[in-house]
Structure 1
Amino acid sequence: MLSSEARLQLLTPPNGSVNVVIDTDTFNEVDDQFALVHALLSPERLNVKAIYAAPFHNKRSSGPGDGMEKSYQEILEILELVHVEHEPPVYRGAAAFLSSETTAVESDAAHDLMRRGQAVTEPLYVIALGALTNIASALLLEPSLSERLVVVWLGGHAFHWPHNQEFNLKQERAATRVLLASGVPLVLIPCMGVTSHLQTTVPEIERYVEPRGEVGQFLAE
């Protein structure tokens, strides 16, 4: 496991473009579509190496596997609309949540993250926008990844918030515990109390986003 000094060094804000993979339950809510498009259109800051479909389960899916598959298809649709020079590969993630904190859910996404993490010579940033199943599974399969990754996770609420019933966390408590116990450098982006302040309006979307071609129309709709 990394020393505290080494972990802090990896958490130093980087300069220039960094290599990232994005783990996203894209079909769940509209914020992931905006985040994915922004990342793909920001090569000067983010070099997107791969995209992973994350599982989710609510009224928009019949189960975690269905949520993952719908997210996978949504990612492919976005890539058809965003014309980038180097299109990153897309991998299906876990079809189920972790049943315990010791057993991985194997998937193409978890295995790709494991391979990429083992091959890097500089930190690989993992942008996690949903449940942590794929990332926790990769860490269970190869614990040494905790020394090679920096995870940026949208999950939980601000520490002063009166409860922590946040969607990404509460549907995957086991994976969250795996991540927190792994020692991997973590940038936590809380939902209520932090990202809840990142707001826009329908008129702003109609003026600044919708005119931006097919992908702008897709996001506005």
Structure 2
Amino acid sequence: MTLIPDAAGREYDVRHWRLGSVPWQAIQPAPGPRARVIVDNDFAGDPDDLYHLVHQILSPNTEIRAVVGSRLRDGDVFDTSGRTAANAVLVARDVFARMGLDSTEVIHQGSNEALADRATPRPSAAVDAIVAEAMREDTDTPLFYLAGGGLTDLASAYLTEPRIAERLTVVWIGGLEHEGLADPPPNAMPIEYNLLIDVTAGQVVFNDSDLDVWQVPRDVYRQCLVSDAELRLRVAAAGPLGRYLYDELATVVRGVTEHRGTAPGESYALGDSPLVLLTALRSLFEAAPSSSRHTTIPTPSLQDDGTYLAVPGARPLRVYTWVDTRLMFEDFHLKLREFSRWSGASD
């Protein structure tokens, strides 16, 4: 349901800049990021990924090394085209253009197809970029893999080069609630939305790999609610970029309302935003996402139906149980306003 731009793209009347600079900040931050990130999201889907992308771009504490446009599940209502990863790249490029960001060389397309089995990767430009960044020998800056959708391209990268597991931390928005930690919501999808994109890929990451995973399961990403009033007054009012972000969500709300024949809700879950919170907004001393809460459990086995099977003694899995939405959203709103004032953007 995200607006898919034309392949030729559109030019916007904005000021231009490149990654690695922060011209919109009157008071410049301390030099050098504290972490590298690979952003992986299904940008042709739920527009919460657009909010995450903009927020991550505006967070100089993380250095964006790659942006992966990844797939939606086949027949997804957001994009039924069968070329959802290709469309995700078009959307990411359009966001860059709206921000005047000329660093489009970091955008890479993932696979349009899910894994066929747990042993065979899906080659793509994104997989090549993931492996190349993870295997770099010229930096010891920590690398985080930020997955806001399915895990197809990460799983393919691992199957291509298993040594990447020693070199990055995965932060994944997805998966069911864990027994004893939270209950599912009313009328919940049996297989959580992001896992359903590619269950086989999830099994590669959870069951077959030794990747270090921080999981933000469904009960936690559903905590990330913003009200329509907040969106109107703090996002839509922040220049053309803010209005674009607002209108993308409003389109979804109208579509759901018409389909269900019910009154629209006054809140929306920006469920991918914890990817910024847990990486760019870590504490200065003893760097960690210390304002949020997690527990550590043995990594369970993912079953074909999306449920977990306990595996005593398995490698540790960090499961977030609560995220600091105040810090996360206040930071986003202020950065968006600061950037919009500088950009001088106009339609």
Q: Decide which of 59, 65, 71 is 1:49's aligned counterpart.
A: 65
Greater Cα offset, 99-108 or 169-178? 169-178
Alignment of 1:47-126 (within 5 A): 47-57=63-73, 58-62=76-80, 65-84=82-101, 89-120=106-137, 121-122=139-140, 123-126=142-145
8 A contact 1:49–1:88 mirrored in 2: no
| Contact 1:98–1:104 (Cα < 8 Å) also in 2 | yes
Any runs of at least 4 consecutive aligned residues in structure 1 with deviations exceeding 6 A, and if so which?
Answer: none
Q: More deviation in 20-29 or 204-213?
A: 204-213
Shift of the alpha carbon at 1:61? 2.3
Q: Quote the offset at 1:56 in angstroms.
A: 0.5
Counting aligned pairs with the same residue, the percent is 26
| Greater gyration radius | 2
Q: Distance in 1 between the 2:143 and 2:105 partners?
A: 15
Q: Which residue of 2 aligns with 1:155?
A: 174
1:140 and 2:124 correspond: no
The AA in structure 1 aligned to 2:153 is N
Partner of 2:236: 210
1:159 aligned counterpart, secondary structure = coil
Say yes or no: does 1:187 pair with 2:214. yes
* Partner residue, 1:197: 223
Question: Unaligned 5+ residue runs, structure 1?
Answer: 1-15
Question: More helix by proportion, 1 or 2?
Answer: 1
Does the 8 Å contact 1:155/1:188 carry over to 2? yes
- Native 8 Å contact 1:150 1:185 kept in 2: yes
Where structure 2 has 5 or more consecutive residues not aligned to the other structure, the ranges are: 1-32, 248-347
- State the AA in 2 paired with 1:27: A
CA contact (8 A) 2:235 2:243 kept: yes
Question: Could you list the per-position Cα deviations for residues 26-53 of structure 1 after superposition, in whole angstroms to 9, with x for gaps in the alignment?
Answer: 120011000000000111x221111000
Compared CA separation, residues 177 and 40, structure 1 to 2 (3 A): same
Give me the whole-angstrom Cα distance separating, in 2, the residues matched to 1:25 and 1:99: 19
- Do the aligned partners of 1:41 and 1:84 also contact (CA within 8 Å) in 2? no
Q: Please give the TM-score of this superposition, normalised by the length of structure 2.
A: 0.56
